[in-house]
Every structure is written in structure tokens, then in C-alpha cells.
Amino acid sequence: MKLNMDEILLINALARVANVNAKDCLVGDHIVSYLVKGSEVGKAIGKKAINVKELEKKLNKRIEIIGFETKPEEVIKKTFEIELGEIKQKKGRLTIGLDNTNKKKVLSNSSRLRRVKELMKRNYDLEVILK
């Protein structure tokens, strides 16, 4: 995975504000999504979301913090706060089974799903498929 100069500058901005090293970031028109270690999500957000608010003010964009986990399915589980069903991983594809309630919860936030899928592709080299 290669980062461009804008992404490097944004990762450095998070490091200065929150003292957290992001693994990756995605830049959208109105949002920046950071991928940080799962154990450092709280530190990145800050008490009463002070770090997120400061970055949003400086960058004039919404900030989203997503936790990086060793198991890729855990990223989906924790980001959307859902229960996972059957999980299959082979040939660069991660297939996750969801019941109707959890599927509705994930699909109702399609823009976040797109960003998470892109981060999964870049960092785990996996295409995420929800069933």
C-alpha cells in the first residue's frame, strides 16, 4: 500500500493532535477516515471527542476513526456494532453472513460501508462480501 502526500500529511495531523499513529487514511470530499490500532481508538477520539473536534475544525472535514484489528472480520463487527454470522475467507475474499437485523444496520450506512471496504482492500488485501 502506498500513501500519497495528502494522506501522509493527514496522518501526521492526527499524530500531532492525538499522539496516535494511524495505519492508513482515506480522504473523501467531506470526510477523512483514519484506520488506527483497535486499542488506540479511544485515545484517537479523545475525552469528549476533543481530538476529533479539533481535527474537524482544522481540516474543515468530518473525521471518522476506525479500529484496525488482527482479524479482518473484527473491523466490520466493531465498526458497525453488529453480530457476525458465518465467516469464510479464501482467494482474497472475505464473505460474512449477517442476519436481517444486522444486515439492515450495515446497509443503512452505505457510505461508511464503502469506506470500510476500501480500507479492508488496502490493508488486508481482501474484498468484503456481505450475505
Domain C-terminal end among 68, 98, 121: 68
What separation in angstroms does the CA of 74 have from each of 4, 19, 80, 94?
27, 24, 10, 12
Domain C-terminal end among 68, 91, 112: 68
What is the domain-level CATH number for residue 89?
Answer: 3.30.300
Reported as type and span, the H/E element at residue 100 is: helix 100-107
Instruction: Express each pLDDT in 81-122 by its tens digit.
Output: 999 999 999 999 999 999 999 999 999 999 999 999 999 999
Could you tell me the residue range of the domain that residue 51 belongs to?
Answer: 5-68
Residue 1 is predicted with a pLDDT of: 72
- The answer on 76 and 63 residing in a single domain is no
Spatial contact of 39 and 68, defined as CB atoms under 8 Å apart: no
Domain C-terminal end among 36, 53, 68: 68
- The answer on 61 and 9 residing in a single domain is yes
